[in-house]
Amino acid sequence: MEDQNTKIANLKVYISENCSETEKEIIKYYWKFKENEILHYPKQVALTFGIGLTELKKIIGTHSELSFDFLCEHCNRYEMQTINSITRYIEIIKVKRQRNSHSGFKCAHCKQLEEKKLIQEKKEAQKKLKQKFEQAIETKNWNNLTNFEREVLISSLGMNFTELGKKYWDQLGKESYIRLIRALEKIANENLILLFRNAPHNYIYAYEHLSYLTEFKDEIKPPKKIRPSHVQNDVDTNELKFKLTINENQHHPDSPLHAGTVTFKERIVIEPGVEYIFGLWNRANENLYLTMTPLENLEKTPQTKRISSQPKSIRQVMIDYLNNLGAD
């Protein structure tokens, strides 16, 4: 007879012939139900027969077994369950009675179907991801990267994340290490590598790429700068730093506050379309100190203008950088 509330049917107790009459009485008392509800719990059984819980567990586990048909919520078919403890029976019933549960009880057949479905979905997702990565190589998405990001991509093709992290930690130091993380994120956004992150902190711990991406190393390498022959011995920089001296001859309303001459010891290249971070500091005798540095020299950041609007982690790096320059 089927219980319409819990959908349990055909409760049957098996008792081994290799046990004493007392043990049979204990087993019958232990496996006693009323409308599929437990009548005697282990502690009560042990007290009734004057035995310990360990001995009770041994008797039940060695000489008895309970079988019943349990309704699968997914295919609406019964599956036989075989157990040897009241505790296990309670666990199964508890799962069944969680009406708000999206999973509920699944028979072996439904579990197998679900597993096959998940495997197929994973294969389809991997196929789509592979197509995206192949498209990125076909369209040469590395051309959308900065020179530093290209260098990181080249390095990542020949080492794992731990090795890559050590290399750039040694090169960049603690304060600028975030440049590496931002570079990896940009490379991943271009579908050239796949990043793996841990769940609690979202930290990167590994990455993967299509194996044949290594065939394009020569194209990925940052292009070499071509300099005119007459300045081949010059040293180029993309940072501007000099002192603004006070104008001592401010005799006219239109006279500038700061004036003077400056001679640079190296060639300074200011590129159009490049975002620079600038700072201005007071110096002795009302002089000022001006510096301009490309933002990519620190790390990739959102295209905003004020330091206060930058992400907190990047903002602190920029502030520390400017403070160090000011102290020097």
* Burial state string for 151-190 with b = 16 or more CB within 10 A and e = fewer than 16: bbbbebbeeebeebbeebeeeeeeebbbbbbbbbebbeeb
Answer whether CATH 3.30.2010 is correct for domain 113-220: no
Question: Whole-angstrom Cα distance, residue 65 to residue 121?
Answer: 39
Q: What is the pLDDT of residue 258?
A: 80
User: Which tens digits make up the pLDDT trace of 22-38?
Assistant: 999 999 999 999 888 88
- pLDDT tens digits for 134-147? 898 899 999 999 99
Domain with CATH 1.10.10 in the chain: 113-220
Tens-place pLDDT, residues 53-98? 999 999 999 999 999 988 887 888 888 888 889 888 888 777 655 5
* Residue closest to 107 by CA, chosen among 99, 95, 98: 95
219, two tokens: 């194209």
pLDDT tens for 160-185 read 988 988 888 888 777 678 888 899 99
Rounded to whole angstroms, how far apart are CA atoms 155 and 277? 28
Q: What is the pLDDT of residues 222-247, one digit of tens each?
A: 877 655 444 444 457 878 787 778 87
CA nearest 28: which of 15, 44, 37? 15
